[in-house]
Structure 1
Amino acid sequence: MQKIKTLGALTAFTFATSAAWAADSTDPIKLTLHDWSGQLINTKIMGSILEEAGYNVEYVQADYIAQFAGLKTGDLHLAMEIWETTGREALDEATATGNVVNVGETGLQAIEEWWYPLYMKERCPGLPNWEALKDCAEEFATAETAPNGRYVGGPVTWGGFDDERVEALELDFEVVHAGTDAALFAELESAYQRQDPVILWVYVPHWAPAKYEGEFVEFPPFTAECYSDPSVGVNPDLAYDCGKPRGPIWKAAWAGLQDKWPGAYSVIEAYTLTNEEMSAMVGEADLNGVEVDTVVANWMDANKDRWSGWINQ
């Protein structure tokens, strides 16, 4: 077990005398890391709090959707960001097996959708209504995709069904997936500076919607049936003919975590952040070049009373 960092004599006494915590395993709690700054920050804050509580923490790189296989078997223990927008289907499937549990909301509220800079609205004036894209796809074209428009999606591992949406809504767009989160927003920065055509996957919480003037496309409202039943929606033959869902970002855990580390489970349940906090921290990392570990350490220093309360509840 990693050495417990000093929280004061009273806190140490609380740890030592808590029956629930005394029963916790000394094995490492394995938290998953993905490929975007917000998830790295969120996960490492959680890991830092668990370390402050005396737990041994191990970080494991894992794909966003594929991680559920490890959570089901107990090879992985905690995933800190399952987005309602893209991960709810996988989360529900995993929890239905009884091997994964939903540990509750992180406090973050997610939007993930097609987004364009406002200067593109002048070239496609029907926006944000998605049907405008049917008439002005060429305005979003590049030399590689012309006459089709070019939509820059997130990394393939993020899911999101953008390729299926383009087909179902009969949009003359080619989906080009960015290789990484950094590449996605480098694409936006480059296009924005030159006022080049661009439409891409943007998400909240994130710094981009605050830095750049733009709007999310308004697709037909999401329903679960739109994703599962082709007969529902504007295209009677294909599913995914609607926008992405919106809602909370969830914490998901191996079902055995609560029995093996009951004290840690209580901390994980209590943990929350806000969109404003996360967007600011992602901006520090992505825009100001501050190392993720430094961003996390700064948050820990500024919020000691808050996370100590989660430990000592």
Structure 2
Amino acid sequence: MKTLIRKGIVLPTLLMVMALSMTLVGCTTEVEKIVEVEKVVEVEKVVEKIVEIVPEKEKREIVFSGLNWDSALVQNAVARYIVENGYGYPTSQIEGDTVPMFQGLRKGDVDLAMEIWLPNQNAVWDEAVAAGEVLPVGKSLEDNWQSSFLIPAYVHEEYPDLDHVEDLKEDKYKELFAEPDSGGKAVLYGCIAGWACRGVQEGTEVGPGQIEAYGLSDHVELRDPGTGGALAAAVEGAVAKGDPILFYYWGPTALMHNVDEYDLGQPDPSDCQANDPVHGCAFPAAEIMIAMNMGLVD
């Protein structure tokens, strides 16, 4: 009986103690919650971009061939304006005759030529292109002609039988164009010394030239007017007076637009080797090229 009481007391007591303990624990213990706060720090990366400003390379001067006749000078003026104002290159021109100017183009003293007349310069042109010294870049002018044996139309009207270079061997026609200092020969106002066409008339290492090939050496004196302007003045002066004159000229030009000319007959260009009149035939239709020194291409 004593044992049962003890058990009955002890069990409830234990339960009360356990309950009290749980209560005390519940009342006196704080539960700490640790909240981890992740702080995101944004790092702004500043990149400095260093731009090096390179000064514009200085543009070199472009040198033009200043050939001394109107069409070449006009073309130079137009081309130089475009090069200077369109592309920002300074330009200049060296004035001179055909032969020295072409040599300057080959050597690089001249960068650009607006008129290379072929076949007048066939031999040196072919050499320069083959050697890689000169580059053709296109045609310059179209529908061009030239002749060494022109007379005013009114002279032909007065002397209709004067229609071929062979007729210049006759005394009456030689006298028609003779001058006091020509020794009885007909005076031919021809190409200027230094123009490539001069070689066509008097001969080169390539061929005898028109005068010799036509058998006119004893009948015609080839006279150098000195300048293109003097040649034009000689023609204009004779025409103004209605005088006879035998002359070289080319077209289309302002002078030939104003002067009615007659071209004396000559052997056809097809009769000459490579159509080159230096062998003794008329000038074929001219091919006029624009060309530059290869150094300008580089």
Are 1:179 and 2:226 an aligned pair?
yes
Please give the alpha-carbon distance, in whole angstroms, between the structure 2 residues aligned to 1:150 and 1:200: 8
SS in 2 for 1:71: helix
SS in 2 for 1:139: helix
Are 1:218 and 2:265 an aligned pair?
yes
Question: Corresponding residue for 1:241?
Answer: 280
Compare 120-129 and 136-145 and name the one that shifted more.
Answer: 120-129
How far the C-alpha of 1:185 sits from its partner, in A, is: 0.9
SS in 2 for 1:145: coil
CA gap of 1:195–1:24, structure 2 versus 1, over 3 A, is: farther
The within-5 A match list for 1:232-271 is 240-259=279-298
Please give the alpha-carbon distance, in whole angstroms, between the structure 1 residues aligned to 2:220 and 2:240: 23
The within-5 A match list for 1:98-177 is 98-113=132-147, 114-135=149-170, 136-160=173-197, 161-163=200-202, 164-171=209-216, 172-177=219-224
The structure with more radius of gyration: 2
Question: Which ranges of structure 1 fall in alignment gaps of 5 or more residues?
Answer: 1-22, 234-238, 260-313
Please give the alpha-carbon distance, in whole angstroms, between the structure 2 residues aligned to 1:202 and 1:89: 22
How far the C-alpha of 1:33 sits from its partner, in A, is: 0.3
Identical-residue share of aligned pairs (%): 27
TM-score of the superposed pair, with normalisation by structure 1: 0.67
Please give the alpha-carbon distance, in whole angstroms, between the structure 2 residues aligned to 1:139 and 1:240: 27
How far the C-alpha of 1:167 sits from its partner, in A, is: 1.6
Task: Work out whether residues 177 and 186 of structure 2, in 8 Å CA contact, stay in contact via their aligned partners in 1.
Answer: yes
Question: Corresponding residue for 2:205?
Answer: none
Task: Work out whether residues 64 and 158 of structure 1, in 8 Å CA contact, stay in contact via their aligned partners in 2.
Answer: yes
The within-5 A match list for 1:61-76 is 61-76=95-110
Task: Tell me the alpha carbon deviations over residues 17-39 of structure 1, each in whole angstroms, 9 at most, x when there is no partner.
Answer: xxxxxx99710111010211221
Moved over 3 A (4+): none
How far the C-alpha of 1:145 sits from its partner, in A, is: 1.6
Task: Tell me the alpha carbon deviations over residues 17-70 of structure 1, each in whole angstroms, 9 at most, x when there is no partner.
Answer: xxxxxx997101110102112211111111111112111112112331122222
Q: What amino acid is aligned across from residue 243 of structure 2 in structure 1?
A: D
Task: Work out whether residues 192 and 224 of structure 2, in 8 Å CA contact, stay in contact via their aligned partners in 1.
Answer: yes
Question: Which ranges of structure 2 fall in alignment gaps of 5 or more residues?
Answer: 1-55, 203-208
Task: Work out whether residues 124 and 133 of structure 1, in 8 Å CA contact, stay in contact via their aligned partners in 2.
Answer: no
How far the C-alpha of 1:72 sits from its partner, in A, is: 2.1
SS in 1 for 2:113: strand
TM-score of the superposed pair, with normalisation by structure 2: 0.70
RMSD: 2.4
How far the C-alpha of 1:137 sits from its partner, in A, is: 2.4
Q: What amino acid is aligned across from residue 161 of structure 2 in structure 1?
A: G
Please give the alpha-carbon distance, in whole angstroms, between the structure 2 residues aligned to 1:119 and 1:144: 25
Question: Corresponding residue for 2:66?
Answer: 33
